[in-house]
Structure 1
Amino acid sequence: MSINSSSTNATLDLLYHCFDVPITFFISVAFTATKFLLFVPLFILVLHVGQQRRRRRRRHPSVTTSHSDVFTFHMAAVELISVLGSCFFCCVFYSDLPQMKIVGFYALHIVFPGQILFHTLTCVERYLAVVHPVTYLGLKQSGGVRIRNMSCGCVWLLCFGWSGVIALYMPELPVVPFLSLLVFSLSVVSFCSLSVLCVLIRPGPGEVGGDRERVDQSKQRAFCTIMAILGVLLLMFAVYLGGSALYAASLLSYADGCVAMSSALWLNLPNSLVLPLLFLHRAGKLECCSNAE
Structure 2
Amino acid sequence: MYNSTENYTTPEGSTNFTTYSVRMRTFELYAFSINSLVGLPTHSYVIWLIVKGTGTGVASGFFNLNLSVCELGSCLNSLLFVLFEWYPFMIILALGTQGFGITGRPLFQCLMCVERYLAVVHPVTFLKFKPLRYRVICCTAAWIITLGSCLCNLMILFSDNIILHAWFFSLQFILFFSIQLFCLSAVLRALKQSGPGERGRERQEENHMKRRAFHLILITTVNVVIIYVPMTISGFCTIMTNQYITAIWFPALLLFFLAGFVQPVLYLHRAGKLSCLCS
Q: Does TM, normalized by the shorter one, top 0.5?
A: yes
How many residues of Structure 1 are paired with residues of Structure 2 in the alignment? Answer: 262
- Runs (4 or more) in structure 1 with deviation over 6 Å come to none
Aligned to 2:29: 29
Task: Write the deviation string for residues 149-204 of structure 1: whole angstroms up to 9, x where unpaired.
Answer: 11111221222111233244332153334233222223322322332233223233
Aligned to 2:260: 272
Shift of 1:121: 1.4
Shift of 1:259: 5.3
Q: 1:183 aligns with which of 165, 174, 181?
A: 174
Aligned to 1:38: 38
| 1:110 aligned counterpart, secondary structure | helix
Provide the identity percentage: 26
Task: Write the deviation string for residues 262-282 of structure 1: whole angstroms up to 9, x where unpaired.
Answer: 442211024311211111110
Q: Kindly indicate whether the alpha-carbon contact (under 8 Å) linking 2:35 and 2:78 is maintained by their aligned counterparts in 1.
A: no
Identify the range of structure 1 (153-162 vs 257-266) with the bigger mean alpha-carbon deviation. 257-266
Return 5+ residue gaps in structure 2 as ranges. Answer: 8-17
Letter in 1 for 2:174: V
Q: Kindly indicate whether the alpha-carbon contact (under 8 Å) linking 2:95 and 2:154 is maintained by their aligned counterparts in 1.
A: no
Q: Kindly indicate whether the alpha-carbon contact (under 8 Å) linking 2:184 and 2:217 is maintained by their aligned counterparts in 1.
A: yes
Task: Write the deviation string for residues 97-155 of structure 1: whole angstroms up to 9, x where unpaired.
Answer: 2xx32112221442221221122111222222222233333433xxx311111111122
CA distance in 2, matches of 1:66, 1:96: 41
Letter in 1 for 2:185: L
Aligned to 1:157: 144
CA distance in 1, matches of 2:271, 2:225: 27
Identify the range of structure 1 (169-178 vs 118-127) with the bigger mean alpha-carbon deviation. 169-178
CA distance in 1, matches of 2:240, 2:135: 42
Task: Write the deviation string for residues 71-113 of structure 1: whole angstroms up to 9, x where unpaired.
Answer: 222111111122223223321444352xx32112221442221
| 2:196 aligned counterpart, secondary structure | coil
Q: Does 1:130 align with 2:117?
A: no
Provide closer, same or farther for how the CA distance between residues 194 and 95 of structure 1 changes in structure 2, counting only shifts above 3 A.
Answer: closer
Shift of 1:66: 5.3
Letter in 2 for 1:41: P
Aligned to 1:147: 134
Letter in 2 for 1:51: V
Letter in 2 for 1:74: N
Aligned to 2:278: 290
Q: Does 1:86 align with 2:74?
A: no
CA distance in 2, matches of 1:124, 1:265: 26
Provide closer, same or farther for how the CA distance between residues 150 and 187 of structure 1 changes in structure 2, counting only shifts above 3 A.
Answer: same
Letter in 1 for 2:32: T
1:144-293 to 2 correspondences below 5 Å? 144-170=131-157, 171=160, 172=162, 174-250=165-241, 254=243, 257-258=245-246, 260-291=248-279
Provide closer, same or farther for how the CA distance between residues 158 and 84 of structure 1 changes in structure 2, counting only shifts above 3 A.
Answer: same
Provide closer, same or farther for how the CA distance between residues 136 and 206 of structure 1 changes in structure 2, counting only shifts above 3 A.
Answer: farther
Q: Kindly indicate whether the alpha-carbon contact (under 8 Å) linking 2:191 and 2:210 is maintained by their aligned counterparts in 1.
A: yes
CA distance in 1, matches of 2:253, 2:99: 11
Give RMSD over aligned pairs.
Answer: 2.9
Q: Kindly indicate whether the alpha-carbon contact (under 8 Å) linking 1:119 and 1:229 is maintained by their aligned counterparts in 2.
A: no
Letter in 2 for 1:233: V
Q: Kindly indicate whether the alpha-carbon contact (under 8 Å) linking 2:188 and 2:217 is maintained by their aligned counterparts in 1.
A: no
CA distance in 2, matches of 1:264, 1:190: 19
CA distance in 2, matches of 1:236, 1:158: 20
Task: Write the deviation string for residues 36-62 of structure 1: whole angstroms up to 9, x where unpaired.
Answer: 2222221121112112217x9xxxxxx
Aligned to 2:87: 95
Letter in 1 for 2:96: Y
